[in-house]
Amino acid sequence: YSRFTTKFLTTQLSATHTHHTPHLSVEMATIEQSGATPPAIPRRTMDDIRSINKTRGLAVAVRPQYFPSTLPSALCPRCEPPEREKGEKGEKKSDDRDGPSNSSAKKSRKGQNKKRPRDAKLPPDPISSLCMSMVRTGTCPYTDCRFSHDVASALKCRPVDLGDTCVIYEEFGRCPFGLKCRWGGSHIDKGTGANLSDPEKERTHERQSETVLNATETKTMQLLRRNKYPFSTARNCTTFTPTPELWGGVTPPKMPSLPEFRPNKRDPDDVVEAMRLRHEEEAAEIRRRHKEEVEEFERGRAEAASTTGLPSKTRPLIDFSNKVYVAPLTTVGNLPFRRVLKSLGADITCAEMALCANILQGQTSELALLKRHKDEDVFGVQLAGGYPDQFVRVAELIEKEGMSVDFIDMNCGCPLDLVCD
């Protein structure tokens, strides 16, 4: 109904404004030729439109309450908003609607606001900038340390403790955070700021830490990660060949270089012949010595080959008959789980499956799978690998590091691409 009313009024208004009587058109032309100002044509109101349509028989029976009091937006003259005047460099001038501003021009809001207000640089906090070596031991081994060594200033600016007892100090006898600990009132000297320790608790913790065996040293992991661990077995070899380091031999001797014979052309023939004979004798002596060294080396290799290629070590055989054996359970059979099963009557325990490739890369999470508790009487580890040299190198690592392992379970059927590829 409203669409019909709008369309009807639009049609009638356009016809009313464009249709003029002939005598009015003649009068307008005469005025334009004389140069006088034409009279203003009065705009018709809604009442005039209603009366015209009613006389022409085009009116519609519409109740007065449904007529709009104002014209719709489609019938109003279109007004474009005035454009703001642009200043230099594309900046827009501010008007009254923008509110009061200190500057006459407003910066364009594009990109990073580099002139935004910034906080003033505060002086470094004496607590957070304190050197950790000074906190733990009271001395710093570095001559060009970039951290603060002013313990007295840090002690004055130290905030109030959050509690009275430091749980790390109570458990291990020493807190590594020292002056920075928020519960440090129990292990900080209030006069000097030194980090105190309890020797009795430290010894107790050391005794407790000895219950877990096969812990890998940090130096060993660093050598593995840098691929510089002194393995005796060559890498990527299909068969295991004992190297001289294993059976105590020496490397094969190399043929030394023979001296060259360069006679002087100005010397007489008898002198050149004597020099040639002496040169041949020296070369023959060098060859004879090299032959003796090679024969001695071959005898040593034959003696080593007659015995075993690996270092001689006697290991007792493990009797698995009528024993409760805890199989290697990945993501389940960790050390606490095996301790629980050991307390419930298990006889033989085996660690989770460990990948040889990850162990040779020095991964901490993989080396942790080789740990053993002292309550585990018979303990073994399971190794998974896709190549023989990986098993040999991991076994050599276990032997050299002195890990307590009774047997090795070789997993040769794992179909994972991580293992086989």
**Catalytic residue numbers, as ranges:** 414
Task: With H, G, I as helix, E, B as strand and everything else as coil, classify residue 213.
Answer: strand
Kindly list the strands in the beta sheet with 378-384, ordered across the sheet, starting from the edge strand earlier in the chain: 325-326, 348-355, 378-384, 407-411
Name 408's bridge partners: 381
DSSP state of 200: H
Going through 279-347 in order, the beta strands assigned E by DSSP cover 325-326
Tell me if 58 sits within 8 A of 12, measured CB to CB.
yes
Going by C-alpha positions, the residue among 378, 371, 376, 374 that lies closest to residue 403 is 371
Could you give the CA distance from residue 287 to residue 283 in angstroms, rounded to a whole number?
Answer: 6
Cα 341–chain centre separation: 37
β-pair type (407-411, 378-384): parallel
Going by C-alpha positions, the residue among 122, 85, 121 that lies closest to residue 105 is 85
DSSP state of 148: B
Backbone φ and ψ of 92, nearest 5°: -100, 140
Could you give the CA distance from residue 290 to residue 137 in angstroms, rounded to a whole number?
Answer: 59
Q: Check the CA dihedral 313-314-315-317 and report its sign.
A: positive
Angle subtended at Cα 273 by Cα 268 and Cα 276, rounded to the nearest 5 degrees: 130
Angle subtended at Cα 337 by Cα 332 and Cα 338, rounded to the nearest 5 degrees: 110
- Report the phi/psi class of residue 354: left, alpha or beta, with left for phi > 0 and alpha for psi in -120 to 50: beta
